[in-house]
Amino acid sequence: MTSGFGLSAQDLLRAVLGGPHGVHVTGTPKTGLELFLNAPAQAALAQFTGTPLARLTALLPSLAVCHSRLEDAPLRRAAWYMPGTAWVTACPPCTGRAWLAGPGVLVYPGAAGHICRRHRRWLLARAGQPAGIALQSLPEVFAAHRRHVSLVRTHPRGGDVVAFAAAVVWSWQVQRWRSETIWQDRVRRLAAVTGCPPAAIVPHALLSYPETIAVARLLGDSRWQRHLRGSFATGGAAAAERLFLQEVGLRIGRPWLADWLGAYSRARGREAARADPLRQWLLTVADGISDDRLWMVDQAVARPAGYSDRAALLGDGHTRALSEQAKTAFLTSGWEPLPPQRPGRAPYR
């Protein structure tokens, strides 16, 4: 199309998508190598080319994806977005920039984040700088990322599933499991490779990443959803919840999980119910809902996206000091799963 009109991709798209269409575009409009369009923009492009939208999305698969920047209402104030923090620095040794001064090669990480499999490094520490976290001593993180990539490729709402799982695991983190040893061990290993004190590691996304992906794979399994509906119908919500938690406990190496959370719910009563996104999900599944509503999470129980917000809830009060230490080690930015949110408080009273 661009060669036929003698225009750059950006100029052509501005001409096609200009006007009162309410269109929104993100990606790389300057080069046209990667584009994400909302529904009005897709319709305008299909009309201009005279090609059915189904045919266009078959030729250009990214057109079928609604990027998170286009789904977030506060960001819909302009028609064009250039990925800012979404771009991350590619692995310096792989791009031949390991010993060169200046900025590295930027890449677009996608929904599952960005890991260099060759050098086993988590590369989302800081966009525009050749920083990362070595994963040689964290094989469970490396394995979780492989499963994460598979999930977002095979599940139509994979990103939202992972984001909802993050809210579930976050609801466990804020309970401060004092006898929990798996996270304690991972904190020590992450502290060793980043040079940060353990307290600065606790709010970081990588600490609970393996558990988040394990829960997400189970939440997104349609067979388990059918199984839980049957359990809910025959034994009620408590039976379905226990069945699910027993399976989760086995998958994340914590066979005591169902008993612990059951005791916690009995002790805290309504307070525990209001802070439990998993119960919200189970009730939604029991109603037979399988569309986008299944992955909506109330703001009151969503996992905070900001490092400082998580540090304030998990730390000992020295939030500013922890944030400064984490920022020095490039831990305060990077991939974070953000779910679609319902406004207001959780619906459980």
Report yes or no on 156 lying in a domain: yes
Q: Which domain holds residue 32?
A: 2-75
Terminal alpha carbon distance of the chain? 56
Same domain, 22 and 103: no
Same domain, 223 and 264: yes
Same domain, 107 and 183: no
Digitized pLDDT (tens) for each residue of the chain, 349 residues in all: 666 667 776 677 777 776 655 677 766 656 665 667 777 788 888 888 888 887 887 777 667 666 655 654 333 322 333 334 456 677 777 877 555 666 667 766 666 667 788 888 887 655 445 567 888 899 999 899 899 989 988 988 888 888 889 889 988 888 887 678 999 999 999 999 888 888 888 888 888 999 999 999 999 998 998 888 888 888 888 888 889 889 999 999 999 888 888 887 777 666 656 678 888 888 888 888 777 788 887 777 777 777 778 888 887 667 788 788 777 776 765 555 555 555 544 333 3
The predicted structure's pLDDT at residue 91: 78
Report yes or no on 81 lying in a domain: no
Same domain, 148 and 129: no
The predicted structure's pLDDT at residue 175: 83
Report yes or no on 246 lying in a domain: yes
**Which segments of the chain are extended strands (E)?**
25-27, 35-37, 88-89, 106-107, 115-116, 121-122, 133-134, 297-298, 341-342
Report yes or no on 347 lying in a domain: no
The predicted structure's pLDDT at residue 210: 93
Report yes or no on 247 lying in a domain: yes
Same domain, 58 and 182: no
Domains of the chain: total: 3
Among the candidates 27, 55, 75, a domain finishes at 75
> Among candidates 135, 138, 102, which has minimal Cα distance to 121?
135
Same domain, 287 and 163: yes
Same domain, 92 and 231: no
Among the candidates 51, 75, 99, a domain finishes at 75
Same domain, 262 and 331: yes
Report yes or no on 348 lying in a domain: no
